[in-house]
Structure formats: C-alpha cells, structure tokens
Structure 1
Amino acid sequence: MKSRARPLLTLLAAILAVVGLAALPAVSHAGPAVPAEDRSEAADAAPASAEETVAAMQPGWNLGNTLDATGDDETSWGNPRVTRELLAAVKAEGFNSVRIPVTWTQYQGEAPDHTIDADHLARVREVVDMALAEDLYVLVNVHHDSWQWVMDLPTRHDEVLNRYTATWTQIAEAFADAPAEVLFESINEPFFEGSSGDAHNAELLHELNATFHEIVRSTGGRNAERVLVLPTLQTSADQARLDELNATFDALDDPNLAATVHYYGFWPFSVNVAGYTRFDEETEADLTGMFERVDQSFVSRGIPVILGEYGLLGFDRHTGTVQQGEKLKFFEAFGAEAREHGVTTMLWDNGQHLDRVGGFGWQDPALFAHISASWSGRSGTASSDQVYVERGADPGDATLTLNPNGHTLTAVTHDGQPLAEGADYTVTGDQLTLSAELLTELTAGQEHGVNATLELEYSSGVPWQVRVLVHETPTLESASGTTEGLLVPAAFLGDQLATMEAYYDDGSIAGPQDWTPFKEFGYTFDPDYEAGTVALTAEFFAEVRDGATVELTFHFWSGATVDYTLTTSGSTVTGAPA
C-alpha cells in the first residue's frame, strides 16, 4: 500500500501558487454535530482504507438517466423504474459497484430548510439497499443540481451555500447508518457562472468540498469514516484542475477521501468531427496522458481515484457515431490504462448499453466483450475491422496491420473453422494479408454489405472480428425540404458513411464548427441505413448562410466519395447530386 504521507507545507505552497489562492482553509457551514451515540453502532473496528475500498469497487457502472432525471419521476427520461433484478444483472455482468446519480432539485421545498420530499428520499434509500443486497458498492451524489442552482454560487453565494448545506445535511442524516460500502460524492461536474476566473473557481469548489466534508463527518455514525469522493472543477483531468483539488486534499488532511474525474475521450474523436474518424496516435496520446496525470497527481500520493464516468460523447446521440472497430480500440486501450494506473472506472450508461427493458442483454455485445475483457487483460486488435471488396470486380489481396497488445496471432477463422496460413492468409511481421483467392471465395454471393466475418484469434483476450463487405459507390438522390431538416434518399450499396465535408461555392467552410470542413457526425448529418436516407439537421442549417450554395462531399469507409449540392432560399432547401 502506498503511503499517504506527504510534505504538506512545501507541496501546498506550490499548489496554491498555481491556483493563485492565499489559503484554502477548512470551511464550516454544517449544522450542529449529531452525537455518535444517537446512531447505530459505528463502523467496524478495522474499516478498509480508502484505497482498499476504491480498489474493491472496480469495475463500476452508472445508473444513468434515472434518479438523476430532472422530470417528475425516475422514468421521465425513458428508463424503467429500478428493480432489484436490474441490479442483480449488473452484478452478474461482473460489476462491483454502481454509481447512483441523484438530482434533488425538484424534490426540495422552499428556503431556508429546502426539505427533501420524504418519498423521494425513501426511494433513493430503497435503490441503495437493493444494490447493497446484490453485494455492490454504491456511490451516491448530488447530480444535475450542479447546473440547476449550484453553478450560481458566485452570484448568489449565501443562498446557494445554504441550500447545498441543507441538501447534504439531509442526505448524510439519512445514510448515517449505511455500511461503509456506501460512498458519497459531493457534486457532479461542478462549474460556476459569474466567477472572476480560475482562482475564484478554485476557491468556490474548495468551499463546496470542504462544506460537504464537514457536514458528513459531523453527522457521526459511519459517516465519521465513510469514504468521501471529491471532484475537480468540471471533473476535468487537466493538470491545473488536479492541482487545485490536491490543495483541498492537503487542507482537509483526511485519509478517507478519494478523487474523481470523468473522461469521454479526445473530443474530436469522441463526437466524430474534424475528420477524426479513427483511434489514431493523437487520440491515444490524449487517453494515456489523462491517466498519467491522474496517477502522478493522486494515485502515486495514496489518493485513490474513481473515474466516475467514461464513454464517448457521441454515444449521447447513438453508439454508431464512432465506427465500430475504432470505438472497440478506444475501450480496449482505456481498460488497459486504467489497470496499469490503478484507477477505478465506472461506465456511463444512460440506457444505451445494458438493455433495461428487454432482458438485461447488451445492446452491443462486442463492445461489452472488449470492455469486460479489459478489466483483467488486453485483447489484440488490428488497423481495421473492415475489408471492402468492390462488387463485380476481381478482388486483390487485402492487408491489415496487427496490434497484438502483447499477444500472438494463433489463428484466423471463418464460421469457427481455421483458415490455411500460406494459402488463405500470410503473416509478415505485423502485417496480415488476406489472399485474393480467399476474398473471391468469401464474396461469391456478391450481396451488398457483410458477406463474411473472420475472427483473428490471439493467444489471449477477445478475438478481433473482421467483416468482409461487398460494395458499390453509394448514390444520393435529389431532395427538397426546409432548414428544419432535409432527408436525402440514399442507396448505400453495402458501404457506410464515415464523415462529411461542407464548403460554400466560394471555397469557404460552411455550417457549424467553421474551423473545420469535416462536420460532426450525428449532429449535422446522420445516415439511416435501414431507411436509406442521410439526414441533414436543423443544427446544420442554422449556421448556413441564407441564399447560399453549399457543396457537400460524403466520405465512405470503402474510400468512395460522393458529391452533393445544396441550395438554400429562406427556409427552403433543395439538394441534388453534383
């Protein structure tokens, strides 16, 4: 176990110099302490350390868009009511902890007490108890309240702080007798509007975290030693934000604290904008850099880290925003970095991953296979999971670059049968070449789309699937609509859309994100392969000049490109193949 001792004065002085603060004192805003004797028995005589507790929580899962929904019910954002069966399924899938985001705003009364509705508080406790009954650690927080009222701390300081104090006092009282497997997180993704800048933000977040700390500790019972989780500003892993939180850890001087950050990947890749369609070196460097900073700032000092949310931002629209093989490489590498640096991770799931309605299966089994395998080891990948063969043409050899990730390639199989090395494929160094003869055989049916799926089996980990697809150059048809949205009829002919460029006819960049011609997938354009359309969205047209001609180029994964011309006039839009 790493020692948590550190040269407090020297380090704190350096950190304070970075954030520009004169001091970060412990702040007292809690009500009177509740005597421990008024609680049930205190925690076990030898409770687990914060490091041991957080390590035991790996891996974790988020009960997203449920108790954190801002509507009038936990089902208001489209997810069903939580059942013990759901939490049993989460445990059965290998998770050891569940983060339960909770939004309290709409369930609170007026100032000064801001009393939480008793039924809502009881429901939160019921869900926590169900999770504990399934042997899951639990992390409870104050969630969307962060942007509903906590963000106003700079301009309504006393009012906001009083409400925050009232909120956490009630939560802490309600869970004072809960076992040590229940952890508290002070605030989700904190930020402030109307502050004077970084130094002011750091002061305000320190004040919130210190207030939270004193409230919970003062309520006694198991809260006296419960592991408390403190976020950075915006749960960012930028070095300045990590330094600011370290100053708070030093000021509080409490061994039962943990840090939390969130990570949704290198932003252009995460949302598929600016041509970042692949998990390339820059995207991977952003990932590894985040874990290195968190390790050096916290883990190496004995402060455990919970990466409270992770995923890809484009998943908020749908999981097809990032191409399948590229996202699998991201999650495989993410899990490896988390293991290397000793960080506990909690998958953000707002209902798009684990099917909470249809039997608790995974919406994307291949994705979860790579995520779950990464908890204990690495899986080999390759430069792509697609090989395109043009319809009606004689295919040539196709070469992929192997990424063994410490393993060796042991077989290439089709329908469970091994292919013949030397005839069906060859391996030279890290280059796997599929023979023209094999591809001819696999695509004999000449059906558009996937004709065969190969598996690259490595000495360990999840096999890497390679789809062999037959394609022709896609076609787009003329269309008319409005700036509220245009549906372009499309024949994809076995291909898939990777990205879209947009220019005005004068050569300048058109549409949102005018610093790049490559527009954001799902936000400005979105293919529907079953319906045979490409949607150009209201968000795209909102930033297109009236009366303009816009030249679009659609880029497909086969390498094909298709040009298309848009003409706008008021709210009317017409489009035609170029």
Structure 2
Amino acid sequence: MVSLAGKIRAVFLAVLLTVAASAYGATHQASADSAASSSAAQIVADMGAGWNLGNQLEATANGYPSETAWGQPAVTQALIDKVRAAGFKTIRIPVSYLGYIGPGPNYTINSSWLNRIQEVVNYAYNRGLHVMINMHGDGYKSINGSWLICDSSSQSTIKAKYEKVWQQVANRFKNYDQRLILESMNEEFDGQYGNPTQPCYSNINSYNQIFVDTVRKTGGNNSSRWLLVPGWNTNIDYTAGNYGFALPSDQYRSPSIPANERRIMISVHHYSPWDFAGEESGTITQWGRAATNPSKTSTWGQEDYLDSQLKKMYDVFVTKGYPVVVGEYGAIDKSSFDASNNRYRADFARAVAATAKKYGAASVYWDNGTNGRYGFGLFDRRSLTVTQQGIINAIMSGVGTRVAGSGLPSDS
C-alpha cells in the first residue's frame, strides 16, 4: 500500500512533470501555451495554503460594516501572526461597504473604514503573505443595505456606484505588489438556487468587466495585478458549464505583460455535499472513503465528485492560462453528534486542498471564527489558540507544506 506521503509526493511530481512538459513542448503552439501556464502555475504555487478571515470585515449591523457585530473581537496583528505560524500563506479578507458608501455621483467610501481595511490588509501583507480582498456582503439580498443586486431594475445606478467604489479601493492599493489580489465580488446571484437567469447573469458579467477595467485604469501595479472574478454564485457548474458566464476582456492591462499571458483568475467555492459540509443537523457527519457508517454519509459529493468538479475548472480555464481559486471550502463541526466527525472534516479539507493543487488551483479554507457546534473555526480569535490542529495538518498535507513539529511530509 502506498503511504499518504508517497501519494502526495507522487501528485506533486506529476504536477512538476506536467509543467515541465508544457514548458518544453515540441511545437510552437505548446511553447506559447506554456508561457501562459507557467505564470499561472507560479501564482498558485506561491499562494500555498489559504485561510479566510470570515465574519469580520464583512460583518454588519443596521446596514453598516462592523467587524465585531457577529461575535468576533477586533482583528489584531497577533491573530494574523498565529495564522501565518500555522503554515498559511494566503489570507482572504471578505469586505462589506454598504452604508459606508456615500451618495452619488462620487459614492465616497468612509475614510475611517477604508483606513481600517488597509490596516488589516497590512497585518498580513507586511508579513509576506498573499492577501485577497473583495466586495462581499453588498450583493446579499438578506443583508440590510445591500445594493449590488443583479436582478434589480436600477442597473445604471448600481454599475456607476460599483465602478466608483472599486476605483477608490484600487487607488488605495495600487502600489502594493502582486501578493495583493483583488476579487470583484462574492457569491453573486439572484438568491434562488435554481439555474442561472437572464438578464441577471449578464449583469454579473458586466460587473466583472467594470471591475477589471476600473482597476486597470488606476495604473501603478494594478495594471498588471492578478484579478479574481466569479461566475454565478461561485458555483462550479454554472461557471464552467454553458450557463452564460463570460470571461472579462483585459484591454487596459500593462503592455509589459506578454500577449499570451493571463492576469485574471476564476473564483469558485466548494461546500459539496452540503448535507455534510454545511447543513446544521447531526444527520450526515462522515465523508470520504474512510467513512464507516453509510447512514451518516451522504450519497453524493464524495472524492470522485470533487475530482470531476475541479477537473472541469481545469479543462475550461486552467488549460487556457486562467488560474482557479477555490476561495471558500470547509465543513462545519458536528462532533457533538458524532465524536469521529473532526476526522472526516480533516479528510474533506485535505482532499479539497490536494485536488485543487492537482488541477492547478489554489484553495482557501473558510473560517468564520466560530468553534464548537456548527462552527468552521480553526483558531480561537480571543485566546489566539489553535482549535483544530488536525484540520490544519490535513490542509498542509494536501498542499504539500510541512508544519513545524507535525511530522507531515514536505515536497521541498
């Protein structure tokens, strides 16, 4: 039987061989394709294991962002240092704006809020981490004050506001290097979980195009920065399938970027099967080939499904030089119903991280700061302690990163 370490090294070796084959392909076309792939592969490799600072800068109260409104303490440098010490190389920072956007036509962002966003970004950026920031809660119909609504009749106003907000954010960060990645929005859709609708999807495509054009036009490092865009509700099927997603053009990017090289990434999320990963009940608590109780295991969404989903993103986007970011994944804590649950949560996390890596994608674990029943937390943000070392170890194993003192394998 091949050991886990052997399997991980084999996957890593396969990725290396694939990249090498692309870089030294015999035909002129293969050479051109590899130029796009190499840059994409490098950013994904550099991002390593990712972690979400969830339920903080996107937390809201009465239509305004409030980072402590959802039960978490204010973010500190010490927290980010703890996350970094655990082995994470990328931190995604969801951000809401809402009532801190002033009236048109300027739509000026409250200066104190923009300063706080930058301060939290700097906690991670100044420690050498990759950082992703987005517009997170402004598109949720369930959030008081939301306005980025794809099926609203006020699209001209929405698009003008969206452009002005991103113009301000992009200008604030234009001199940051390529470790800062901007993400246009989060889980944007009409609020219904059926097939995508029109013209709602067309409006989402328009938002992505406005985002790319606006950020690029601010100049500085933004002219060549990696930009991350989602499809419908960051859903893999609705992004990679024939449902209406359109890649934005990138006409304003720096002329120094080679013509065959991309600087746009595609964002998706993975919480499948939902009855294991997110459904707040004690019914489905196990996942994967090691599951021991069929009655506690979902009938779908296992390893083969995960593989097919990320292969779909690879075939449609990665092969064309567009990196994929699994910007959120994870499974809630149901250990109060099944003492073995955290083992399967770790199996799930390892599988997502490893499969993403296999298919040229980065992965960013969703941590909402909540520990115990139904929480995604890996850390206690008050005591600054690790609460789920087993899941962290699994993530690091999946991406091939050594955790100090863990005995986990390393590909380096």
**Secondary structure of 2:268 counterpart:** strand
CA deviation string 1:475-495 (max 9, x = no partner): xxxxxxxxxxxxxxxxxxxxx
**Secondary structure of 1:247 counterpart:** coil
Which residue of the other structure, out of 279, 287, 290, is the alignment partner of 1:279? 287
Partner of 2:381: 356
**Secondary structure of 1:190 counterpart:** coil
Q: Map 1:79-98; keep pairs closer than 5 Å.
A: 79-98=72-91
Quote the Cα distance in structure 1 between the aligned partners of 2:42 and 2:343.
35
Shift of 1:168: 0.6
Partner of 2:43: 53
Which residue of the other structure, out of 158, 164, 168, is the alignment partner of 2:162? 164
CA deviation string 1:44-68 (max 9, x = no partner): xxxx934422321121111111111
**Secondary structure of 1:178 counterpart:** coil
Higher fraction of helix: 2
**Secondary structure of 2:380 counterpart:** coil
Quote the Cα distance in structure 2 between the aligned partners of 1:86 and 1:275.
33
Q: Map 1:24-423; keep pairs closer than 5 Å.
A: 49-71=39-61, 72-147=65-140, 148-192=146-190, 198-238=197-237, 241-243=240-242, 247-249=246-248, 255-270=262-277, 271=279, 276-280=284-288, 282-284=300-302, 285-312=304-331, 314-315=332-333, 320=336, 323-351=341-369, 352-358=377-383, 360-376=384-400
Shift of 1:135: 0.8
CA deviation string 1:218-246 (max 9, x = no partner): 11111111110011110001155555676
Quote the Cα distance in structure 2 between the aligned partners of 1:321 and 1:228.
41
**Conservation of the 8 A alpha-carbon contact between 1:331 and 1:371:** yes
**Secondary structure of 2:174 counterpart:** coil
Shift of 1:187: 0.5
RMSD of equivalent CA atoms: 3.2
**Conservation of the 8 A alpha-carbon contact between 1:269 and 1:283:** no
Q: Map 1:496-575; keep pairs closer than 5 Å.
A: none
Letter in 1 for 2:131: V
Instruction: Give the greater-gyration-radius structure (CA).
Output: 1
**Conservation of the 8 A alpha-carbon contact between 1:269 and 1:276:** yes
**Secondary structure of 1:349 counterpart:** coil
Quote the Cα distance in structure 2 between the aligned partners of 1:196 and 1:94.
38
CA deviation string 1:162-213 (max 9, x = no partner): 1111111111111111222111000011113699953423311111110001
Shift of 1:106: 2.5
**Conservation of the 8 A alpha-carbon contact between 1:176 and 1:221:** yes
Provide the TM-score with structure 2 as the length reference. Answer: 0.73
Structure 2 gaps of 5+ residues are 1-18, 24-28, 30-37, 141-145, 252-258, 290-299, 370-376
**Secondary structure of 2:43 counterpart:** helix
Quote the Cα distance in structure 2 between the aligned partners of 1:131 and 1:169.
22
**Conservation of the 8 A alpha-carbon contact between 2:227 and 2:263:** yes
> 366-375 vs 175-184, which deviates more?
366-375
Higher fraction of strand: 1
CA deviation string 1:91-114 (max 9, x = no partner): 111111111111011211122222
Bigger RCO of structures 1 and 2 (CA < 8 A, at least 6 apart): 2
Change (3 A) 1:319 1:138: farther
Change (3 A) 1:121 1:127: same
Partner of 2:3: none
**Secondary structure of 1:332 counterpart:** helix
Provide the TM-score with structure 1 as the length reference. Answer: 0.53
Shift of 1:86: 1.4
Quote the Cα distance in structure 2 between the aligned partners of 1:249 and 1:165.
15
Shift of 1:75: 1.4
Alignment identity in percent? 30
Letter in 2 for 1:267: W
Letter in 2 for 1:344: A
Shift of 1:130: 1.9
